[in-house]
A = this chain, B = another copy of it.
Amino acid sequence: MHTITQRQLKEMPTRYRAQLINSLSGFKSASLIGTVSHEGNTNLAIFSSVVHLGANPALVGFITRPDSVERHTLTNILQTHHYTINHISQHIWQAAHQTSARYPSNVSEFDETGLTPEFKHANLAPFVKESELKYSLKLVEVLPINANNTQMVIGEITRIITEEHAIQADGYIDIEKLNTVTVSGLDSYHSTSRLSRLAYAKPNIDPLKIELCGTTD
């Protein structure tokens, strides 16, 4: 096994280190965040840092970078307090990646990538029409992370829109059936194959004899 020390990390070329460190957190969610400015300009941006915070209240967080360059997503959320998170499927992953290009704030990534803004249920922020699992959120808090000048944006889920056939009897949404992709590192996209769902773990059960709950159909 190969070892990389903290000193070696600090002396690495910037881009090499960025690729390396971004690989360490494992497979990541792939989401498009939809917002709109006060002036009505829509914005769509890909994020791989969406993280579950809790189910009651239903809270989700994501990480934004320092304010050294324009961050249209954060600016719009601070203006309107509303945004959407849309799963990226195998049908739209290349267009979704393209939203990471640096467009000016008056250019909509919807127009540039061919994805369709969808205003539903009087929601202020646009959903992505092509996404098969999406939800709207209301801003709760922007938490500063002083260690590296990033921020965690925390929102409460106000509405969920998905294909009904993907919701299983216990509430689990089969995101693999919806062809949601996953990301590793900065730019690698992956489809998935379910190994299994596992039963709730209890101390007295031999891990080698765990009962597998087949849940795919």
Contact = CB atoms under 8 A, between A and B. Distances in A.
B161 A2 contact: yes
A4 B171 CA distance: 12
Nearest to A48: B52
Interface string A177-190: 00011101111111
A1 B163 contact: yes
A154 B100 CA distance: 26
A105 interface: no
Nearest to A107: B203
A29 B31 contact: no
Contacts of A87: 26
A122 B161 CA distance: 50
A135 to B, nearest CB: 6
A46 to B, nearest CB: 9
User: How many of chain A's residues touch chain B, expressed as a range?
Assistant: 35 or more
Contacts of A161: 1-4
A128 interface: no
A59 interface: yes
A75 B158 CA distance: 34
A146 to B, nearest CB: 7
Interface in A61-107: 61, 63, 85, 87, 90, 93-95, 97-103, 107
A198 B30 CA distance: 14
5 contacts: A3-B121, A6-B159, A17-B58, A52-B63, A53-B148
Closest 8 CB pairs of A and B: A26-B29, A19-B171, A27-B182, A98-B207, A23-B173, A16-B171, A2-B164, A190-B192
